[in-house]
Structure 1
Amino acid sequence: MKIRHLEVFLTLETSATLSSAAERMHMTQSAMSHWLSDLEALVGTRLVKRDRRISLTKAGETFRLLALRVLGDVARTKEELQAIVGSAPEMLRVGSTSAGAAGIVSQAVVAFQKEHPDAVIRLEEGSLATLIDGLEKRRLDLFVGTLDGQVHKPGLDHVVLKEETLVPIVRRDHPLTKVHEPHWADLAEYPWIMPLKNTLVRTILEGVMLEHGRADLHPHVETVSFLATEVILGKTDYVAITSGTLARRLADFSSLRALPLQHGHLPQGIVWRRGDKSRTADSFIAMLLALPV
């Protein structure tokens, strides 16, 4: 079996039909069908259900995961070998939530690049689900940020670095900033920007509002983008929530202000693939663990 088999199979898996896959690979549909039959003969089982829309068999799903793992290993090995011979810089791909990127990740990047000035760190922000998927598919080397039950998936290891609190934030001249002692229930009188449904932060927020008799709270905007949140808050009376660390940073350079409320214990940590860390990833993890909490 060749690397090309894996690349073509993943193209096929992300296409709706054999004809669309063939078009993407600059092949005829007949050639694509023949290639697939040869691959299935090679592995000894059917990988694809040939209905109106193609879908994977159980064996095909297993083969998909294998293809992702192998191609990810090949790409990372190439990067490491190029770094060793000096033809390419060290590369580290880190996924993080907005709170993580603004706090521990940014601190670690600065410290790490003082010791590894030629290293390239590629940061990707997003939801935990998206980034854990990227970690499993070897698009990322590490995840750093808010942890929930998804980090207990088979094949992943993690460590908790610290716990964060959740703090509501608004624009500096928001009506709530003029309330001497605001309560959580007061926040429900304003429209909200919330994290995505079923995320840990969203679950904690909904629990807090339920405790304060406001189970009717619903978002006007749902997003994982802090930039979008910051822009919307600055122009409206909306309310949002973020980590205590990010809220403190906002007080220094932003038009936003944290309200004098906090809640929850939000674990922040590192996630990696079990038994599958590069030397660069190990060094970055050591840097994170050495940071003051």
Structure 2
Amino acid sequence: MEMPRLFDGRLKVRHLLLVDALSRQGTVVSAAAELHVTQPAATRSLHEVEDILGVELYERGPRGVTPTVFGEAFTQHARAVLAQLVQAGRHVVELAEADRGTVVVGTHLAGSNILLPRAIAALKHDHPHLTVIVRESTPEELLLELEAGRIDLVVGRLTAPSGEGLLRRPLYEESIELTVRAGHPLVGTSGIRFADLVAYPWILPGPQTALRGEVEGLFARHGLGLPENRVETTSFLTVRQLLLETDVVAVLPALLVRDDGRLAQLPVPLEAVGHSVGVTTSATRTLSPSARAMVRSLEEAAAGMSGGGHPQDGAAAGPDGETAGPDGAGHGGPGGRQSPR
């Protein structure tokens, strides 16, 4: 097979956008709708990029398209190129507008209730014209957004060490607790066994989350199946309202409900269920000045949280005792925030 000619002017950015959309959406119709083009135009563009590369990127089926091994590989590179273009445009804006940059943060359940709001408040205090955009989704969807350069960093549970193009920086350890409303019949009851809880309705993490797998293992270790009366969601607003209005039992990070007097934690130990909360960034892109400022603010907020402790040992100390973040830049302490410029 000859080397594809990618620099002869035929390959366009629209081809890269189409490949990214197709791999996520799974159908030409959905990809075309996302890109605001007609289905025939999207089909024609797909044929063009496959002709340029000399391979078939997708297997066509009655229910959509599935990436071939070539499609998976090219999608990864297409997303990396698109991410660099997004960063280039934003970097130019930040250079032109000084403190008026933008940082896009993805978040899921852990870290979204206390850590991220405190970090944003501190960042906005020092840089009021810096725009912070927060996007909430599942961990898997956020990692795709991070890979494509649509978000700068992800704040939440760390489920694996750094690798595969990602840098994961732990900030603090957080336990998982069984949470109910303050007026729940079990509050104040001693000697509660895990088996006693199965009769109540439950809220479980969604099946796409790592925490769900750990909860399923917890039930299995007690010789129990999952409760039949259950709701599955990763939306904290939904979880909280159901907790307040019903006798449901929820599995939640401890800090999410620490300061909520209307909720209570049951004294039932959850063996081997806990996690590190931290920041995930791309290993292949340099953080923008605004994103570096956001990471510094997250580090400082984590260090100041009682129960959160200090940033974890995954941080590398610089020659002056400062902490090196995911981009390798030195970060000052609480009194030493630097401008994102």
TM over 0.5, shorter chain: yes
Structure 2 counterpart of 1:176, from 178, 181, 186: 186
Distance, in Å, in 1 between the alignment partners of 2:31 and 2:176 is: 46
Distance, in Å, in 1 between the alignment partners of 2:192 and 2:30 is: 60
Q: TM-score, normalised by structure 1?
A: 0.84
Q: Is 1:133 aligned with 2:140?
A: no
Distance, in Å, in 2 between the alignment partners of 1:192 and 1:88 is: 46
Contact 1:18 1:54 in 2 (8 A): no
Distance, in Å, in 1 between the alignment partners of 2:60 and 2:27 is: 11
Higher percent of residues as helix: 1
Distance, in Å, in 2 between the alignment partners of 1:18 and 1:102 is: 37
Q: Is 1:257 aligned with 2:264?
A: yes
Letter aligned with residue 215 of structure 2: L
Aligned residue number for residue 50 of structure 2: 40
Q: Is 1:236 aligned with 2:264?
A: no
Match of 2:113, SS? helix
Q: Is 1:73 aligned with 2:84?
A: yes
Q: Is 1:6 aligned with 2:19?
A: no
Flag the 1:196–1:85 CA change in 2: closer, same or farther, 3 A.
Answer: same
**What are structure 2's unaligned runs of at least 5 residues?**
1-10, 304-308, 310-341
Flag the 1:26–1:267 CA change in 2: closer, same or farther, 3 A.
Answer: closer
Structure 1 counterpart of 2:124, from 109, 113, 119: 113
Q: CA deviation at 1:89?
A: 3.2
Match of 2:170, SS? strand
Flag the 1:279–1:262 CA change in 2: closer, same or farther, 3 A.
Answer: farther
Distance, in Å, in 2 between the alignment partners of 1:22 and 1:250 is: 43
Match of 2:226, SS? coil
Contact 1:143 1:270 in 2 (8 A): yes
Aligned residue number for residue 166 of structure 2: 156
Larger deviation, residues 121-130 vs 226-235:
121-130
Flag the 1:88–1:72 CA change in 2: closer, same or farther, 3 A.
Answer: farther
Letter aligned with residue 171 of structure 2: L
Root-mean-square deviation (CA, aligned residues, Å) is: 3.0
Letter aligned with residue 267 of structure 1: S
Letter aligned with residue 96 of structure 2: V
Q: CA deviation at 1:164?
A: 0.8
Contact 1:15 1:21 in 2 (8 A): no
Aligned residue number for residue 283 of structure 1: 293
Q: Is 1:99 aligned with 2:110?
A: yes
Structure 2 counterpart of 1:223, from 218, 228, 233: 233
Larger deviation, residues 105-114 vs 61-70:
61-70
Contact 1:183 1:261 in 2 (8 A): yes
Letter aligned with residue 92 of structure 1: V
Q: Is 1:145 aligned with 2:152?
A: no
Percent identical pairs in the alignment equals 29
Distance, in Å, in 2 between the alignment partners of 1:259 and 1:154 is: 38
Letter aligned with residue 205 of structure 1: V
Larger deviation, residues 178-187 vs 69-78:
178-187
Match of 1:139, SS? coil
Aligned residue number for residue 90 of structure 1: 101
Letter aligned with residue 195 of structure 1: P
Residues paired across the two proteins, number: 287
Q: CA deviation at 1:154?
A: 0.5
Q: Is 1:268 aligned with 2:270?
A: no
Contact 2:109 2:234 in 1 (8 A): yes
